[in-house]
Chain A
């Protein structure tokens, strides 16, 4: 049981390059999330997917796109990377009640460290 996995672990990009961060969970959770973590700012929600086939914007969605490929996988794409997107990116998943509220805690992946030059 791997929990939440993320690839790659590290990435260096040049300004303007594109890349996709991959996330997969094996806990059969309905909800998945993408966060970024910057020094002194905690975690900020980029996008989330309450269930397969749905995605919604979080607090800081500009410059990102997401795809909920299936129940297991949720990817985050940077179309044209900027230095301001240098950060650590975390994927998380949780189970939810029919109301949409979380049934239990979130489970986090190990993170992707991205540097944009």
Chain B
């Protein structure tokens, strides 16, 4: 059974900092790895999807990398803004299912 872990559980940074969120998974035979954003009281919004054959994906200030051999993915946020404050979840897909981490709650202080 796939286990997905996200560290840290919470992170508070001043505006403008570059930051890295971590995601690890126990089974490297994944089909893809996705990062989602969740605002309080809302559903999940997809940020980036990395196929198993890819090493990274970029969207604006966001960059996600994937290292299947080590079972790790990172989400890099450049020049953080207060509007980036949310919970970020990663999900690994294999065995016909998505397996989610418990998320990192990010607070960007003005």
Task: Please give the residue numbers on chain A whose beta carbons come within 8 Å of chain B beta carbons, in ascending order.
Answer: 4, 33, 35, 40-45, 48, 50, 56, 58-59, 90, 92, 100-102, 104-111
- Supply 23 A–B pairs (Cβ within 8 Å), ascending by A: A42-B89, A42-B101, A42-B102, A43-B44, A43-B98, A45-B98, A48-B96, A50-B96, A56-B96, A59-B97, A90-B44, A100-B96, A101-B31, A101-B96, A102-B31, A102-B32, A102-B93, A105-B49, A106-B46, A106-B98, A107-B46, A108-B44, A111-B43
B97 to chain A, nearest CB (A): 6
Task: Please give the residue numbers on chain B whose beta carbons come within 8 Å of chain A beta carbons, in ascending order.
Answer: 4, 9, 31-32, 34, 36, 41-46, 49, 89, 91, 93, 96-98, 100-103
Complex alpha-carbon distance, A56 and B97, angstroms: 10
Contact A90 B43 (CB under 8 A): yes
